[in-house]
Structure formats: C-alpha cells, structure tokens
Structure 1
Amino acid sequence: MPIDAAKAVAAEPRTSDLAWDHKDVQLYHLGIGAGAATEERPGAATDPDELRYTLESRLHVLPSFATVAGGGMAVVGGLSSPGIDVDLAAVLHGAQKITVHRPIPVKGAAHQTSTVPAVYDKGKAAVIVLRSETADEDGPLWTSDTQIFVRGEGGWGGDRGPSSRLELPERAPDHTVTRLIRPDQALLYRLSGDWNPLHADPEFAALAGFDKPILHGLCSYGVTLKAVVDTALDGDVGRVRSYATRFAGVVFPGEPLRIRMWRDAPGPGSVQVSVTAPDREEAPVLADTVVEHV
C-alpha cells in the first residue's frame, strides 16, 4: 500500500524556509480575481478599494495568501513525507483551515514546521491530515490545517476519523454575491506554486476522470475569502482570525460562483458561507465554511 499511516504520523517534523515579497502577493491576488470587474465594482481595475490588492504602494495581504507563501510547499512536502507515495491524479483537496496570529507582512521571511498528525481510512479513499506552523523572527504568523483526499488508497482498517457537517442557517443570507471564474483563471493561479497538471492539462484531467481541467480548490478558497472581506468585513483583511472550509465539489474555469454569507453564524464574530455553481443547478463548491473575525 503506498500509504503507511503509522510511518507518516511517526515521521520527524519537516522544516523549510519561506520568503515572499510584494510581487508574490500581487500575483496571488490577481490569481483569485483581484482587479476583475464585478457587479459591485464595475471599474475594479482602478477602484481604490481594489488597488489594495494590486498596487504595491497600497498593498495589504489577504490571509489566504498563507496557502501559497513560499510556493505553497507545505502540501507538496506533505505528499512526499515518509510513508506517503501517491498518484497526483488521485489527489483532491478535502478541507483547509488557516488561522492567522497577526497580519501577514507584504514582504517576509519565515520558518515553517510541518507534520502529519493523522491519516484516516475512508474505505475507498484515504485522508492525509497536514499541519504547518509558520513563524518569523517576531513570532507565530499562521497555522495551516489541510486535509488531502486520495482516491483508491483506503481500506486498510484504520481509523475513519471525525465526520461533522455544519447546517446552513434557516434564514435568508445577509449578503449574496456572484464571482465569475475566468477561463484562464487556473493558468494564472498555478503560477503561485500549485503545478498539478490537473488544472491545466486536458489529458491529465481525463486520467483523473474529468472532462476538462478543473480549478484549484484553493483558488475558490481565495476567491471566497476576498468576497467575504470585501462584502462583510469592510474590506479589512486584518479582521480575519481564521478561515475554514470543506471542498464539496469542483469548479470549472469559465463559470460563475454564487457566494452566500450569514453574519454571526454559527455564532457571534463569524460569517458562515455557502458557495455553489449556479450554472450547474447550484452544485455545491465549498461547504462547512466559516470566517471568524474581530
């Protein structure tokens, strides 16, 4: 079996050094749609609020940038850790959570420590749990918790792991926005470090069972957080404390996403979010999604 759960969990923590500057931040923001026209900002390319994502003299950093800082090596390193040898065509992002301990600087150098706390047996698949702690000379910056779903690698009789679902509020959302995923979105987003050919190569996508390349789950993740910050948090990235989601379905470049937000759900100081694909009968994209904030 390509996954040896006990060996992966017992392995020594992996360490790496990360560095980024304003160009990496701007490229990431462009990759998740910064500067693109929306219903709320038809002139987004020059909108003062949007320039905070694209112009180096006004730049702030969306917390989801943590998933690609330094080239997004935490996930890549996790898939090559002792006890894990998997086919990229069988890999899908299952869930993601970022907890930020203070605002991410526009230019930074940091040290990252990564572990595999658990590997779960889902029967027909395995779920690899990765945790990365990132700090710079001033202390902790962020914690990343990632779940990687690997088809065809379960069935060894291991722990199935926790399973919980977050129900949507039984009231109308406080905000609903639409974000168009451009046809070339995945090609731009992958320049931030996720080179999986699943998102660019039609032949590779076919091997994975898709009619065409799909969007990176973490691109949908970033698009959604930006929408929440811009719509429900007064455009202030510093208000975000954590952001968690479960990847419930695929996104195809060229289609819109419908993003619904409920303030103070599931509790005070949070925004619960639902993301669907309206052109595919509201097929779920992100579920169990919560942004905690101040």
Structure 2
Amino acid sequence: MPIDPDVAIGAPLPDRSFSWTSSDVLLYHLGIGAGSRAGDNLDPRALRYTLDDEHLQVLPSFGIVAPTFHETDPPPLDLPGCDINLGQVVHGSQAIEVRGAIPTAGSAVLSTRISDVWDKGKAAVIWQEGVARASAGSTTGEGEELWTVRSSIFVRGEGGWGGDRGASTAVEVPDRKPDTDTTYDVTPQQALLYRLCGDRNPLHADPAFAQAAGFPAPILHGLCSYGIVLRTVTDDLLGGDAARVQAFGARFAGVVFPGETIRVQAWERDDDIVVTATIDSPRQERDGAPVLADCVLTPR
C-alpha cells in the first residue's frame, strides 16, 4: 500500500539544523500581515513586529516555519513508509508550544518523528511531532529546548486499509458574546509574499497546479492564516505581547483565497482562549465558511 503504518509510526526523520536572523523574523511578520493596517507604521505596538530595534519580538508561530525558512524547493514528502505526492496533501492541523520567548536570532536542531497514522476511509492522516533545541552559536544554552511542534497532514485517496480512525474532539465555543471580534483583509499578493517564508508549494501560487488539485485558484497557505489569527488574538487580548503566548493549536477547517476577509472571534476562559476564524464575505456561498476550528491559545 502507498502508506505502511507499521513502517511509518515511530519512524524518525533526519534531524534538521537551521538558523534565523532578525531579517527572517521581519519577513515572516510581514507575510502574516503585520504592519498592514493604517497607522501601523507609527504605532509602537505594531512596530514590535516590523522594526528591528531593541523592542522587536517574535510571534511563536515563527518557530513552525523557522526550520524550512530558507528553502526554495517545494516541501519534500519523503516520509518513511509513505509513498504520497504533493497534490494529495493538505495541512490538517498545527500546534506549537514555546518554552519562553523565541530569540530574534539563533541556531537550533529540530528532531522529528512520525507519531501516528490514522485511516479516515477515503484519506489518511499523518501526524508528526518535533522538538527544537538550541545548538552551538545560539544566544541560549546549547541543547536547551526552545519549542515543540505537532502537526498533521491530510492525504486524500490513501485511506481504507482498516486502521485506527483516531480521535475526534471538538473544542466547545462559549455561548456568549466574544471578547474580541475583528477582521483582517487578506491582500491579493499575500500568498506570494508568504511563500518567501520557506513554503514554495505551487498550490499557493500556480493557477494550473491549483486547478489540477481541485481548487479554482491558488489558495492561501494554512500556516499564513494560522499566523494571522494568532497575531490578531495576541494584539486584541494579550496587549500585543508575543511573549505572553505559551501555546497555540488549531485545525485547518477550510480554505482562504487571497483577497478575502478573515473574521477572528475569541473568548477568554479561566486558563485559555478559544478562537474561531471564518470567512467574512458578501458572497453568500462563502460568508461564514470555516478557516480554522478547534483553536485554543494558552497564555502565560
């Protein structure tokens, strides 16, 4: 079979050594829309994302893309026991937990393994878990754990072998008015800008590739939507202080096309913040379409 769970589950992937600079941090923040609102070029809080001075901070979601930030080829899918191609794959979910504020420059090693494979009948879900640790030359101590990541990819057409379907736990949205309700206008060139952050999947730039994959046009990267939503909630409910974010996880529930508007709603609870992201559109068929679901932000 194209996916052999006996081979895949538990298999380690090659360690990935990487480094980043403040220029990478600035580009990432611009890619997820920082500095795009009127007045952001003069707002000290907004400039914490876009100006490389002593106040520059790093949104934790940067840790997800940092290991591949300088890659220019489409993402490889050379996973042990998994014979799949890029056209079958969409991002299923993503979570990151940081041990402290990510430094604006550093070096690290990411160790990753395939943690599970689920059989959804007409598709497979492949889970990966990784730990990033500081390496020699980093501003933190060598070997210090910086962050952990957990993600899944949804592989169409590769289920049906009778394996474990996996858990399905929905996050309950509070039945009250959200503590923040705001929108972000995705720019027409947003996916073209964000792809410079290390994800050159042609699904987000090449119209012919997108149509072959079943979409009418290139779609926004799921991780771009993820970063937009995290930044929005951080600004609205955490005073714009990225260091107050301990963890953020979400399931990718739908697509965003460049030029659309994302509506972000969030509810503060005792220990965390529940978040939803949907399309805010005058077109009836797209208005309210899900973008991210089962989102939980854990603050410090």
Where on the TM-score scale, by shorter chain, does this alignment land: which range? over 0.9
Indicate if the aligned counterparts of 2:10 and 2:113 stay in contact, CA closer than 8 A.
no
Partner in structure 2 of residue 23 of structure 1: 23
Quote the Cα distance in structure 2 between the aligned partners of 1:35 and 1:278. Answer: 21
Indicate if the aligned counterparts of 1:20 and 1:107 stay in contact, CA closer than 8 A.
yes
Indicate if the aligned counterparts of 2:253 and 2:293 stay in contact, CA closer than 8 A.
yes
Q: Quote how far apart the aligned CAs of 1:10 are.
A: 4.1
Partner in structure 2 of residue 6 of structure 1: 6
Partner in structure 1 of residue 113 of structure 2: 115
Identity %: 51
Secondary structure of the equivalent of 2:246? strand
Give the length in aligned residue pairs.
285
Partner in structure 1 of residue 35 of structure 2: 35
Q: Which has the higher helix share?
A: 1
From 47, 57, 60, the counterpart of 1:60: 57
What amino acid maps onto 1:245 in structure 2? Answer: A
* Alpha-carbon RMSD: 1.4
Quote the Cα distance in structure 2 between the aligned partners of 1:31 and 1:10. Answer: 33
Q: Quote how far apart the aligned CAs of 1:84 are.
A: 1.5
Q: Quote how far apart the aligned CAs of 1:166 are.
A: 1.3
Change (3 A) 1:243 1:10: closer
Q: Quote how far apart the aligned CAs of 1:13 are.
A: 4.4
1:145-184 equivalence runs, <5 A = 145-184=150-189
Q: TM-score, normalised by structure 1?
A: 0.94
Secondary structure of the equivalent of 1:281? coil
1:1-294 equivalence runs, <5 A = 1-37=1-37, 42-57=38-53, 58-71=55-68, 76=75, 79-137=77-135, 138=141, 139-264=144-269, 268-279=270-281, 280-294=286-300
Quote the Cα distance in structure 2 between the aligned partners of 1:158 and 1:11. Answer: 17
Using the TM superposition, name which of 85-94 and 144-153 deviates more: 85-94
Quote the Cα distance in structure 2 between the aligned partners of 1:33 and 1:10. Answer: 36
Partner in structure 1 of residue 138 of structure 2: none
Quote the Cα distance in structure 1 between the aligned partners of 2:3 and 2:129. Answer: 18
Quote the Cα distance in structure 1 between the aligned partners of 2:2 and 2:20. Answer: 34
Change (3 A) 1:196 1:76: closer
Indicate if the aligned counterparts of 1:7 and 1:82 stay in contact, CA closer than 8 A.
yes
Secondary structure of the equivalent of 1:45? coil
Deviations along 1:75-132, one digit per CA (max 9) or x if unpaired, are 946x312112212111101111001111110001001100001111000000000111
Secondary structure of the equivalent of 2:168? coil
Using the TM superposition, name which of 168-177 and 6-15 deviates more: 6-15
User: Which segments of 5 or more consecutive residues in structure 1 lack a partner in the other structure?
Assistant: none
Quote the Cα distance in structure 2 between the aligned partners of 1:64 and 1:12. Answer: 23
Q: TM-score, normalised by structure 2?
A: 0.92
Using the TM superposition, name which of 220-229 and 10-19 deviates more: 10-19
Indicate if the aligned counterparts of 2:234 and 2:240 stay in contact, CA closer than 8 A.
yes
Deviations along 1:233-275, one digit per CA (max 9) or x if unpaired, are 01111111110101110000001100001011xxx12111110
Runs of 4+ in 1 over 6 A off after TM superposition: none
Indicate if the aligned counterparts of 1:9 and 1:117 stay in contact, CA closer than 8 A.
yes
Change (3 A) 1:187 1:13: closer
User: Which segments of 5 or more consecutive residues in structure 2 lack a partner in the other structure?
Assistant: 136-140
Quote the Cα distance in structure 2 between the aligned partners of 1:135 and 1:46. Answer: 36
